[in-house]
Structure 1
Amino acid sequence: MTAFRLTLQPRFNETDALGHINNTVIPAWFEAGRTPIFEIFNPSLALSRWNLIVAGYQINFSAPTFYGKDVAITTEVVRLGQASFDLRQRCWQDDKLTAQAVTTMVHYNYDAAASEAIPAVVRAQLAALLVMENEVE
C-alpha cells in the first residue's frame, strides 16, 4: 500500500540538454512528496517548530523522465526506529518507474542540537503507514 501520492506536471525549465528532466530535479520532487510526513510531525509546517532533518538519502534512476507528461511521486514508510525512520519514494511516469530513493529522516531538537525519540502519537501514525517487509520491492 502506498501511503501518499503526489501528481506533478514537469515544467519546461526542469528539462536538460538531453531533453529529459534533469536528475537534480527529482530529489526536489521527492521533498515535495514528503510534505504529508512533515505534517504528521508539525501540522502547521511552522519553521519555528521544525523538528526533522534528512540524515541521508540514496537515489537510483532507472529510466528518463520527460516534460509534457504527468509524474506521480509515491511515498511510503519502510522503517521505523526510535528517533529515525526511512521513506521509500518513487517517481512514476506512464506507469513506469523512473527513479527511486530511500531517505532517512531523524526527529530532531534544534535547541539541543540532537536527535530525540519520536513521540508516541507520531510513532502510531507512522506505524499505521509502515509497509511490511514483503511489500518492499
Structure 2
Amino acid sequence: MTLERGNAFTPVASATMIWPWTTSVLGGAAGGALFFLLNLGAGALTSGLTAAVIFFALIGGVGGVMRKKADRRGRRYAATYPFRYAAVPAAVGGAGYAIVSYASGILAAPIAGLFGALFGGLLVAAAIWVTVGLIAMVVGNKNA
C-alpha cells in the first residue's frame, strides 16, 4: 500500500502507524495487574485480563494522536477523521473484551455466555470509540 498524496488512507493504516505499542502494552499490563490485585478471589483473572485489554486499546488510541513522534500522515488522518480513527482501537478493545469474557464464562453457561460476551464487547467498543474519538477530535488538530 503506497501512502503518496491522493491515495486512500484507511483507519487501520492510520492506527497501526501511530500506535505507541510499548506504551500501550505497559499501560495495559499495569492496569490489568492493578485490577487483578483489587479483585483477588473469584473472577480476579478475568477482571485483570479484561482491564488489560481495555487499557491497551485506550492508551494506544489516545497515545497515537497525542505523540509528537508519530507519523504525520497518520496524525493528520486522525485529526481529519477522528471517529474513523477511533474505530480501530474500539474494535481491538471490544473484541478482546468479548473473547476474554466468553472464554471465562464458557464453563458456566455456553450459550448465555456468548450473548453476554458479545453484548459486553459491544458496550466496551462503544465506550472506547466515543472516548478516543472525542480526544482525537479535540487534541488531534493541535498536533497534526
TM-score (norm 2): 0.32
Of structures 1 and 2, the larger Rg is shown by: 2
More strand by share: 1
